[in-house]
Amino acid sequence: VAQAEKVAQEATPENVAKAETSVKETTNQVSQAENAVSASQTAQQTAQSEVTKQTETVAKAQETVTQKQADVAQAEKKVAEKQAILDGTGTKEIIAKAEQTQAKVNADKEVVAKAQTDLAKAKQDDQKRTSDLAEAEKVVTQSQKAVTTSKADVDQKVAMANKTAEALEKATADLTKANQDVEAINQ
């Protein structure tokens, strides 16, 4: 009877209410963690899309650089040929043509330099997006761990609340029986 009364005293409506409140709070925490995981996954997908786009930009910039380098090599070859002719003839037209070719070589070199600068910037942007993607994946992993921990916490608190409710029912039944026994003895 003493044990039953002690269990009945501990299984008060306040203790049951506290356990229910704790379960609700933990459920809210799980919901928030799941929302964080969803947001992190969206950020990861966006970052991956940006990395893909940037990779295409880098590839296009590299094609431009390669083409312009070929143009420069071709123009330098023409300059060398014209210079060889100049050395032998000295005609005015050949000099003018060589100067035009040299101007084109210089312009092509500027285009190559700009394309190389653009390529370097594209590669730098690509590295940043890769870094952002890794960070987003890290956040997703951390959020998933938090959800797992919170779910385990909820399960534990639900089990504790169920045990408390069972103890309250048993204690109430024991108390009722004890009261009936006391009444039977007193009569």
Report d(CA 155, CA 141) in Å as an integer.
21
pLDDT band with cut points at 50, 70 and 90 for residue 135: very high
Judge contact between 34 and 149, C-beta under 8 A. no
Report d(CA 2, CA 10) in Å as an integer.
12
DSSP state of 101: H
Lowest mean pLDDT among 36-40, 89-93, 128-132: 89-93
Which tens digits make up the pLDDT trace of 97-117?
888 999 999 999 999 999 999
C-alpha distances (whole Å) from 39 to each of 52, 81, 166, 176, 184 are: 20, 63, 40, 54, 66
Domain boundaries, the chain: 2-186
Report d(CA 79, CA 106) in Å as an integer.
11
Contacts of 57 (CB under 8 A, 6+ apart): 122, 125
Judge contact between 48 and 133, C-beta under 8 A. yes
Of the two residues 94 and 136, the one the predictor is more confident about is 136
Report helix, strand and coil shares of the chain as percent, to nearest 5: 95, 0, 5
Residue 91: phi and psi, rounded to 5, are -80, 150
- CATH assignment of 2-186? 1.10.287
Measured at the alpha carbon of residue 61, what is the angle toward residues 57 and 66, in degrees to the nearest 5?
A: 150
Which tens digits make up the pLDDT trace of 58-68?
889 889 889 99
Report d(CA 137, CA 45) in Å as an integer.
10
Q: Which of 171, 154, 159 is nearest to 32 (CA)?
A: 154
For the whole model, what pTM was predicted? 0.38
Question: Radius of gyration over alpha carbons of the chain, in Å?
Answer: 40
Q: Which amino acid is at 151?
A: K
Report d(CA 140, CA 47) in Å as an integer.
13
User: Burial level of 73, CB count in 10 A (0-12/13-18/19+)?
Assistant: exposed
